[in-house]
Amino acid sequence: MVKTGADEIDVWFWTLDVEPGRRAALREILTAEEQARADRFAFPILRERWTAARAGLRSILSQYVGGAPSALRFSLSEHGKPSFEAADAPHFNLTHAEGYAALAVAGSPVGVDLEKLGEAHADVAQTHFSPQEAAVFAATPPERQVAAFYRCWTAKEAFLKALGTGFSQPSDSFTIDFAPDAPIALTEADWLWGEVGDWRFWPFQPHPEFVGAVCLRRPQGALVCARYDWSPDGSTRVGRAWQ
């Protein structure tokens, strides 16, 4: 089985655009409830990608806890974040953006966000960044605003997912230092229990068009990056193929 080191956070990355001949096998990995949820998507591509994300989640986590991927059972938090019930089981968090997914696995609650690079959304920064973040973004040279926007946004979303609140906690209620030449840091969150310095962020870029961030309440640690590939026979193989 796969195990995370005491100071390691594993991040897995995989494609959600699976060949038609493999889709039935992935669907069988899902529970009946998950299959029903997939079927509620109006567009086939969304249904197929959601199925591949959930099947990947189950297949990867089975490498950590053993058993068949389809047999894994999760409990949901108040805000809908899934977890294992066993105290010694790993913590995890899933994210997906268009045709790719990422899964973070760690020894304590973790959050991860993945985004496809696009434009610098000045309107989003104005409404969803804290006043301090919005001011820093507005002062960033235009040629660096795309990188700045996604560096801040992925960190903010990863933090909210690590907390387990999602956007029930307003995204402008805390401040991230996302300067490009320094580690990402949480600098202000008056409502937060504990020290803001207890939280650490790890940005990553698994693909030229996608960026992400991981957040964990831990003073130190190392990000271990891996690619999860669907093999030709419809099963999967695990390999640490990107850094």
pLDDT tens per residue, range 10-69 = 999 999 999 998 899 999 999 999 999 999 999 999 999 999 999 999 999 999 999 999
Residue-wise over 195-216: b if at least 16 C-beta within 10 A, else e? eeeebbbbbbebbeebbbbbbb
Q: What is the mean pLDDT of residues 96-117?
A: 96
Is residue 242's pLDDT more than 60?
no
Instruction: State the architecture of 1-108+218-243 in CATH terms.
Output: Alpha-Beta Complex (3.90)
- Rounded to the nearest integer, the mean pLDDT of the chain is 90
**pLDDT of the residue at 5:** 67
Task: Average the pLDDT over 189-203 and give the result.
Answer: 88
Which residues belong to CATH 3.90.470.20 in the chain?
1-108+218-243, 117-203
CATH architecture of 117-203: Alpha-Beta Complex (3.90)
Q: Residue 224: which residues within 8 A CB-CB, separation 6 or more?
A: 4, 5, 8, 9, 10, 11, 240
Q: Which two tokens stand for residue 110?
A: 């973790």
| pLDDT at position 230 | 75
For residue 86, what pLDDT is reported?
86
Q: State in Å, rounded, how far the first CA of the chain is from the last one.
A: 21
